[in-house]
């Protein structure tokens, strides 16, 4: 009987050592230590043995069970370590492989132009202001000296939401809002933002575009300050390679008013299809804040003066980067956008 027990023990040991996975090891364990194991079977027949054999067999079975348990635990440690090593190996990163080409997004060129202009104005001591795109007729027109029925409202064909609410046609309503908020104190702000007009889209016009409004209010402000400021900004933006001209114009909220043109980048000023033959591209409207606008916003127009301007962001960007169609900014072709 003892030799049979030794045979079972050796078989169990061999099976345990043969196990290549934890699963196989559990199967071997259950085979030799489970309820139906050969050792258990012999235990079930103990009744048939005499007292001495019973004692000897009982001791050996316990000893071998203990031994098998220990062998299982030892093998389990070895297999667990092997499995961890295998996993680590399979998940190892080969740092010599070429990296995946991850496409990184970049800021839109119009955002970059705005940031560039903001930097220039911040350097001149301006603050950045904001205003809503869905605007009240009151700020978009009335407070800017454009009462209902004023013929100059037709200069900016508008998207109305209801009779008193519209998509702002320019960033100038921020002038009125800022003056009301500033309650008679001096002002020096720029405000970038989107504006909307029922304009037909072409190479230089879009129904949605961006402006950067500027407003300075204080004492002893003159047209020379306006001209000096805008000339300095354009020199910073374009260097001295482009010509800039100030041309008399009309806006109901400024008096006198000017428009500023920059020489066309495409034809160098001789005239082409982009500049419609005149050699210049209009980039902004500006002027001295109309006394009515100052008075309506609570500023004494006898004491205070101001200048204001509204720069077309797309036009400036076209001039700076030689882009000959405004629609490129909004088609969102990555081949165009990636260039900047
Ligand atoms: C205005 O919008 C005035 N609010 C500007 C102003 C501000 C005058 C403060 C006086 C004082 P205007 O409609 O000209 O002005 O537009 C200003 C600039 O926006 C233009 O010079 C042009 O650069 C740009 N712009 C106008 N319409 C369009 C359009 N449809 N698409 C793209 N850019 C445009």
Give the start-to-end residue ranges of the domains of the chain. Answer: 2-90, 109-337
193 Cβ closer than 6 Å to some ligand 1 atom: no
Predicted local distance difference test score (pLDDT) of residue 216: 98
- Does the CB atom of residue 309 touch ligand 1 within 6 A? yes
* Confidence grade of residue 247 (pLDDT, cut at 50, 70, 90): very high
Ligand 1 pocket residue status of 312, Cβ below 6 Å: yes
> What is the Å distance from ligand 1's center to 284 Cα?
6
State which ligand 1 atom lies nearest to the alpha carbon of 283: 23
Q: 109-337 — its CATH code?
A: 3.30.930.10
SS3 of the chain = CHHHHHHHHHHHHHHHHHCCCHHHHHHHHHHHHCCCCHHHHHHHCHHHCCHHHHHHHHHHHHHHHHHHHHHHHHHHHHHHHHHHHHHHHHCCCCCCCCCCCCCCCCCCHHHHHHHHHHHHHHHCCCEECCCCCEEEHHHHCHHHCCCCCCHHHHHCCCCEEECCEEECCCCCHHHHHHHHHHCCCCEEEEEEEEEECCCCCCCCCCCEEEEEEEEEEECCCCHHHHHHHHHHHHHHHHCCCCCEEEEEEEECCEEEEEEEEEECCCCCCCCCCCCCCCCEEEEEEEEEECHHHHHHCCCCCCCCEEEEEEEEHHHHHHHHHCCCCCCHHHHCCHHHHCCC
Which residue's CA is the nearest one to ligand 1's atom 19? 312
Could you read off the pLDDT of 165-181 as tens digits, one per residue?
Answer: 999 999 999 999 999 99
pLDDT of the residue at 156? 82
Expressed in angstroms and rounded, the spacing between residue 191 Cα and the centre of ligand 1 is 14
10-64 confidence digits (pLDDT tens) = 999 999 999 999 999 999 999 999 989 998 888 888 888 888 888 888 899 999 9
pLDDT of 134 strictly over 90: yes
Say yes or no: CB of residue 285 within 6 Å of ligand 1: yes
């Amino acid at each position: 009987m003892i030799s049979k027990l030794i045979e079972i023990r050796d078989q169990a040991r061999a099976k345990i050592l043969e196990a290549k996975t934890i699963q196989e090891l559990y199967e071997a364990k259950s085979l030799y230590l489970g309820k139906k194991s050969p050792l258990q079977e012999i235990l079930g027949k103990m009744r048939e043995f005499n007292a001495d054999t019973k004692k000897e067999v009982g001791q050996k079975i316990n000893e071998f069970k203990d031994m098998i348990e220990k062998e299982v635990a030892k093998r389990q440690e070895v297999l667990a370590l092997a499995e961890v090593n295998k996993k680590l190996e399979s998940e190892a990163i080969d740092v010599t492989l070429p990296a995946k080409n991850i496409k990184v997004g970049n800021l839109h060129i119009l955002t970059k132009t705005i940031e560039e202009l903001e930097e220039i104005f911040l350097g001149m001591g301006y603050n950045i202001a904001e205003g809503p795109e869905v605007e009240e007729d009151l700020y978009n027109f009335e407070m800017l000296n454009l009462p209902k029925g004023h013929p100059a409202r037709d200069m900016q064909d508008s998207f109305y939401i209801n009779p008193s609410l519209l998509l702002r046609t320019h960033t100038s309503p921020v002038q009125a809002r800022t003056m009301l908020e500033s309650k008679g104190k001096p002002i020096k702000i720029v405000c970038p933002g989107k504006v909307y007009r029922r304009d037909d889209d072409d190479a230089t016009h879009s129904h949605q575009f961006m402006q950067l409004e500027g407003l300075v209010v204080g004492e002893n402000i003159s047209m020379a300050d306006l001209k000096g400021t805008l000339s300095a900004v354009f020199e910073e933006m374009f260097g001295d390679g482009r010509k800039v001209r100030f041309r008399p114009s009309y806006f109901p909220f400024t008096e006198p008013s000017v428009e500023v043109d920059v020489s066309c980048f495409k034809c160098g000023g001789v005239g082409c299809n982009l500049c419609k033959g005149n050699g210049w591209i209009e980039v902004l409207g500006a002027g001295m804040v109309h006394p009515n606008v100052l008075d309506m916003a609570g500023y004494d127009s006898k004491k205070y003066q101001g200048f204001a301007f509204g720069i077309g962001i797309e036009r400036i960007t076209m001039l700076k980067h030689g882009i000959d169609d405004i629609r490129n900014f909004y088609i969102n072709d990555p081949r165009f956008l990636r260039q900047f």
